[in-house]
Homo-oligomer: A and B are copies of this chain.
């Protein structure tokens, strides 16, 4: 990335001009001028894998080995509804914006509600309805998400910041027909789609046993690998898998925090990048990784990959900041619009203050961002030229109010009561 120690940026909805201060055109007129003295300017961050409807699960049963069956599945089936997903989504978007995430790729239920929330909050997002081989909270029959997606996708076309998409849950939890239909829809509407791939031990065993293949070999076999597929996790990869991902230009959403908190392992990111595969960073859901910010992910990424490669110079800080910005944009197929601060791209950018005690000295701003910054250092956030965070506060919303609405939804559907009961068992 080009660096200016002292620069200017002119933007409306798009970035109009950017350059070092001594080239600032004279006599320029503007509605608003932001003094960014001492702050670090970055492109808005891109969170490539989220489940934002799951805020209610945060801090619930984190360290239980049987967490999914004990807490997540029952509470999801019994309590999740439109209102809870909508209020959770708004809260999560607030959390991401306050942390400098301007674009995200989500996968959950009631994605139409999340699209409304995202539209309302000026977020930029791909929102993918989940398809899975069981009855879920928003569809009456197994794989019902496919029909949901078929009507959801055309509804959110042609909007500027929001695109609807589809997300089969995983290769093992869908029929071949559903996976192929997801690919067809993604091609028809020219939008990326998402799936959890090569994440679970049992997934690897199942495909080995039943087809003598890896999940990625299976996906090639059925013809659904393409540049539009975002494969989340990809923890367990063979060399041949990596060749296939490169061959079909499949994108990878790497979720280091969630993967390591759940002891699933560390994906072979250096090998992926070396092979030419595009990789971005994702937080996974707030129940898996507990936060939705990419600062925590960047630090975990640095420490885990350096340690696994036994090389302190692997992945210098600048490369990690790129994974959180321009590489994330590429994962979503949006690199022409966002991910870097270049004239003509969307004006999605953030300012990170360096007044806080953890931000001195700064010999290398990338080092400061990866090794000592945290989400609380984000000061101002702009999306499509509109300021959504100013001075560490939301401009148009109030976190206390969003929380109150979410808490009310958690009470009303019985989520809170049932969660506390499940903890007592």
Chain A residues engaging chain B, CB cutoff 8 angstroms = 55-56, 58-65, 67, 91, 94-95, 98, 257, 260-266, 289-291, 293, 296, 299-300, 302-304, 306-307, 309-317, 355-358, 360-365, 367-368, 371-372, 374-376, 399-400, 403, 406-407, 410, 416, 419-420, 423
The chain B residue sitting closest to A259, CB to CB, is B307
Question: Among B91, B261, B309, which residue has its beta carbon within 8 angstroms of that of A302?
Answer: B261
Minimum Cβ distance to chain B for residue A111 (Å)? 22
Q: Which of A306, A357, A362 has the most CB of B within 10 A?
A: A357
Are the C-beta atoms of B312 and A63 separated by less than 8 Å? yes
The chain B residue sitting closest to A319, CB to CB, is B63
Quick one: copies of this chain in the complex?
A: 2
Using Cβ atoms and an 8 Å threshold, which residues of chain B touch A410? Answer: 361
Using Cβ atoms and an 8 Å threshold, which residues of chain B touch A296? Answer: 299, 374
Are the C-beta atoms of B263 and A360 separated by less than 8 Å? no
- Contacts A261-B306, A376-B376 known; list 12 others, CB within 8 Å: A59-B361, A62-B316, A63-B312, A63-B317, A65-B312, A91-B357, A260-B306, A261-B303, A263-B306, A263-B310, A291-B371, A374-B376
Are the C-beta atoms of A358 and B95 separated by less than 8 Å? yes
Q: How far, in angstroms, from A315 to B423 measured CA to CA in the complex?
A: 18
The chain B residue sitting closest to A309, CB to CB, is B263
Are the C-beta atoms of B361 and A261 separated by less than 8 Å? no
Are the C-beta atoms of A363 and B290 separated by less than 8 Å? no
Are the C-beta atoms of A371 and B290 separated by less than 8 Å? yes
Q: How far, in angstroms, from A306 to B65 measured CA to CA in the complex?
A: 11
Are the C-beta atoms of A363 and B307 separated by less than 8 Å? no
Question: Among B58, B309, B313, B362, which residue has its beta carbon within 8 angstroms of that of A360?
Answer: B58
Q: Which of A56, A63, A266, A300 has the most CB of B within 10 A?
A: A63
Using Cβ atoms and an 8 Å threshold, which residues of chain B touch A315? Answer: 63
Are the C-beta atoms of B59 and A307 separated by less than 8 Å? no
The chain B residue sitting closest to A410, CB to CB, is B361
Are the C-beta atoms of B59 and A372 separated by less than 8 Å? yes
Using Cβ atoms and an 8 Å threshold, which residues of chain B touch A63? Answer: 312-313, 315-317, 367
Question: Among B65, B309, B403, B419, which residue has its beta carbon within 8 angstroms of that of A363?
Answer: B419
Q: Known interface pairs A312-B261, A314-B263, A361-B59. Does A291 touch B372 (Cβ–Cβ under 8 Å)?
A: yes
Are the C-beta atoms of A361 and B55 separated by less than 8 Å? yes
The chain B residue sitting closest to A65, CB to CB, is B313
Q: How far, in angstroms, from A307 to B266 measured CA to CA in the complex?
A: 8
The 15 sampled A-B contact pairs (Cβ below 8 Å) are A58-B361, A58-B368, A59-B361, A60-B367, A65-B311, A95-B357, A98-B357, A261-B306, A262-B312, A263-B314, A290-B367, A355-B400, A358-B375, A363-B420, A376-B376
Q: Which of A65, A261, A315, A368 has the most CB of B within 10 A?
A: A261
Minimum Cβ distance to chain B for residue A354 (Å)? 10
Q: How far, in angstroms, from A94 to B360 measured CA to CA in the complex?
A: 12
Minimum Cβ distance to chain B for residue A350 (Å)? 16
Minimum Cβ distance to chain B for residue A369 (Å)? 9
